Each structure stands twice: as C-alpha cells, then as structure tokens.
Chain A
Amino acid sequence: MTERRFPAAAWATAFRGIAWRETLRFVQQRGRFLAALVRPLVWLFIFAAGFRAVLGLSITPPYQTYVLYEVYVTPGLVAMIQLFNGMQSSLSMVYDRETGAMRTLLVSPFPRWFLLGSKLMAGVIVSIIQAYAFLAIAWFWDIRPPAWGYVAVLPALVLSGLMLGALGLFLSSAIRQLENFAGVMNFVIFPMFFASSALYPLWRMQESSPLLHDICAANPFTYAVELIRFALYLEMNWPAFGVVAGCLAVFFGAAVFMYDPAKGLWARRKERG
C-alpha cells in the first residue's frame, strides 16, 4: 500500500484534526487573539493618525482617488497580522518540537508534506479570522473598501497567509531553541515589515533612497501587501500573485526538505538514549 491508498475521507479527517487542534489552541490562548488584534489597531489608531498629517499620497492604483493614510496602511496591517501569525506558527512548531508534541504529528502514517501542509493551512485559517476581525473594526474607523472587496480579498489572504506561514515553517526548522525566537523578531519580522510597501508606497521610497526602494521591491512581503491591497479594491495584481505563489512554493519546498527524515533538520539531530 502506498500513501495514495488512504481513502479521501481519511485525508480529510487528518486535515480536520490538525486544523481543529490549531483552532482549539488559538481559542484557548485569548491573549494571543487580543495581541494579534491590538498590534495593528495601535498602528491604525495612533501611528496612522499621526502620519496622516505629514505624509501626502498621490493617486496610485488600485485607488481611484486620493485616500487617507489610514486607508492606505490598512492592507499592510492586514498583511502584518499574517506575518506575525506565520511567525507565531513558527514559534509554536519550535515549542512543539521542544515538548515532543511534534513527534506525535510526524509519526502519523500520512506523508510529511501533507502533515506540514495541513499545519500550515490550519495556521492560515486562524490568521484569516484575525484579519477579518481587524477589517471589521477598521470599518467603524471609516475604512470601507467595496463590500465585494471583503470577499475578493479572501483568496489573497489565503495565498499570502500560506506564503508567510511557509516562511515561518521553514524558519522553525532552523531555530534550535525557543530562546532564539527573539532573533526572528529582529532579523525577519521587523525588516520584512518596515522594508515593504506596507507603510509607504514604493515611489515614496524611491524619492528618499533608491537602495531602500530596491530592497522593498525585492521583499516578498511587499507583494503580499499589494496582492491584498488590490484584491480588497476588486483588482488583480498579477505580478504580486506570481511572486507570492512562487515564494510559497520555494518556502514550503524548503520546509519539507528541512523536515525530511533523511535530510535537513532531523538528520542532524542527535539524542541520547
């Protein structure tokens, strides 16, 4: 029997089980939900309100008119939720590995790519719940994209969430201990967020520093932000879609490689006994 011999219902059951566990853990960690919401809201209510007065924005696609800075920054903050969630998943993987819970997952008879992919998708579902909660609050702050934009943004959130989650998954394979997670904050989350189009349009970057502009243009997070921004305003940004999909394939492939028993992380680990 090969892995293909599992009935479809068994694959669905395994995925549901992994998604259910992630959701259950998320629901039990109310502080995590609040933190995930408060972070972008602080940016929206305080940072964006302050910058509104000093930062002028010209009409740039997908916007048809001049928009307030709060409107501009909202898709970036949605992507920020997914970025933090992806790194949170990475933290959770390292924690699971340290406590031994990871082994329970990896000794399942289902193939490892499927187990990791299911865990990734489960994390994305959680991030999408957070993103919509943020968008709902932002609506009361007069940030109101077209009604269908809330529907159109869903596939963009899935794709960008998968890419950022896959990056987190890959990083989790390289992080040896929970204590090293601070390094991820300093070297991954902050640079990715600030060196992107989440807070300022790329043409603004070009004006102040061409080098910084190039760095932002090479940052996959920029494309996640733009994919979400365009989808929220019922437009498709194909270059952003291509970059996000490509990065997803690369990050997920690297994560599967690192978790392969014959290669990567597990092949290097040595335990006593």
Chain B
Amino acid sequence: MDALRITGLSHHFGSTQALDDVSLTVPRGSFTALLGVNGAGKTTLFSLVTRLYSNVSGSIEVAGFDLRRQPAQAMARLGVVFQSRALDADLSVAQNLAYHAALHGIGRRAARARIAQVLAQVGLEERAGDRVSALSGGQQRRAEIARALIHSPDLLLLDEATVGLDVKSRAEVLALTRRLIASGGVSALWATHILDEIQGDDDLVILHKGRVLSSGKTAAIAGPSGLTQTFLSLTGAAA
C-alpha cells in the first residue's frame, strides 16, 4: 500500500486552474521529491492533502484511507512541515510539541515520552526547554520536523522545508529527513524547487503549471543529459 495516492486531482481558484488532473503516488518508505518552480501548484497540492482546502474532484488516499470519507484516519497518519513557520515562537520547543501531541489526542504521559524521543531523533534534546524564538532557523526547522513526527505518522509532507536556510542548515534538514526514512516507518513527500536536493535513486514528480509532467525514479527521468537539462527542457516545452 502506498503512503500517498492521488488520482485525478484538480483544483481552481476562480478562473485560474491551479491543479489539472494530477495523479501521483508516494511509495511506502520512499523519499519522493515534488519538483516545481514557484507557482507550479505544490502548495495548493499540499493544502488539499492537509484538508486546508477541500478536494472536489479526484481522490486522495493517505496510507489507504480516503481523505474525504475517512478524514480522521487519514489526517492521523499525516505529519506536515509547512513552508512558513507554524510553531509558536513564545512557547518552548517542548510546549509546542506537547500542544501538537494534544491535538492528536496523545495523553500527557505518553506525550512526554514521545517528545523526548522525537527531540533525540532531530538532535534537539538539549533545547527542549528553550523558546522557539531562541533557536536558529535550522533548529526551528528541525523542531518543526519533530512536531510533525510526534504522532508517529506514516507520511511526512515537507513543503519547501529548506527555504530561507543557509547551506549548512539546509544540508542538515535534508540529511535528517533521509535518515528518518532510512530508519523505517515513515515516507516523505518533499516539495522543492532546488534540484540539488534530489538524488538519483529518489522518486520524483515534476509539477508545472498544475500538471504532472513526469514521474518515476530520478535517474530514469534525468537520463544522460542530467536533471537540470531535463527539467528545463520539460518545463520549457510546457511554458
């Protein structure tokens, strides 16, 4: 069973078609990159998968649960790192995580244990009591990932998670996500416009102007000309 299966998804804002018959899958245990320039429809897609918008056409299944018919089950299996900061800067890291655990119905005792566990996973166990505002950009991103992991989701959605980070922090956040997948139990849909973040054995979906131009293993899509050339050629042709 796939961690995420989207079939025939379309969405529009007034007369603007934001997504047009999008179908994609995130295989279980995979790092799937969703590559597209700004305005490609990545955030709209994420907003539909996270039920910030409602999908009226097509279907979205998270770990086999239909988002429209079984929203509670589907959402319980989803961890999200949004493009913009979603942590409360005035609260400590642990308080933010406790709040998020409560939003998933995790009791206090279980939450305490889980907070310690996820903070260790992201390397922030020493900063549990610090206010989020005192963390660096990279650490805040790692705290966001810890928040997204608190309820042990099957699928992590990361919407341009490295935006605004320096090179070192960017590499750390990316490496952390790959480590989490390698350690098992979680899959990731990584939305990005940065080609360097994608490796040859990653699953790849290229989204442009709301349509999927190509999907499959990165190496196969890139071919001998390389990912940059292929991406430019695909999106140029679709321009």
Contacts and interface: CB of A to CB of B under 8 A. Distances in A.
Contact of A103 (B80, B91, B95, B99): B80
A109 B76 contact: yes
A186 interface: no
Interface string A81-114: 0000000000000000001110111111111000
B68 to A, nearest CB: 10
Contacts of A65: none
B170 interface: no
Given A10-B105, A262-B56, A107 B43 contact: no
Interface in A244-265: 260-262
Interface stretch (B45-53, B174-182, B220-228): B45-53
Contacts of A103: 50, 52, 80, 82, 86
A6 interface: yes
A13 B107 contact: yes
B183 interface: no
Interface in B116-173: 147, 159-160
A158 interface: no
A28 B132 CA distance: 14
A17 B86 contact: no
Interface in B22-56: 38-44, 46-47, 50-54, 56
A64 interface: no
B106 interface: yes
A1 B43 contact: no
Give the interface residue-count category, chain B.
35 or more
A30 interface: no
A99 B44 CA distance: 18
A6 B44 contact: no
A20 B101 CA distance: 12
Contacts of B47: 271
A272 B16 CA distance: 13
Nearest to B159: A273
Contacts of A179: none
A24 interface: yes
Contacts of B72: 1-3, 5-6, 109-111
Given A261-B51, A261-B54, A267-B54, A104 B86 contact: yes
Interface of A: 1-3, 5-7, 9-11, 13-14, 16-18, 20-21, 24-25, 28, 99-101, 103-111, 115, 260-262, 266-273
15 contacts: A10-B105, A13-B106, A18-B99, A20-B98, A21-B88, A99-B85, A99-B86, A103-B86, A104-B99, A107-B80, A261-B53, A269-B52, A271-B43, A273-B40, A273-B44
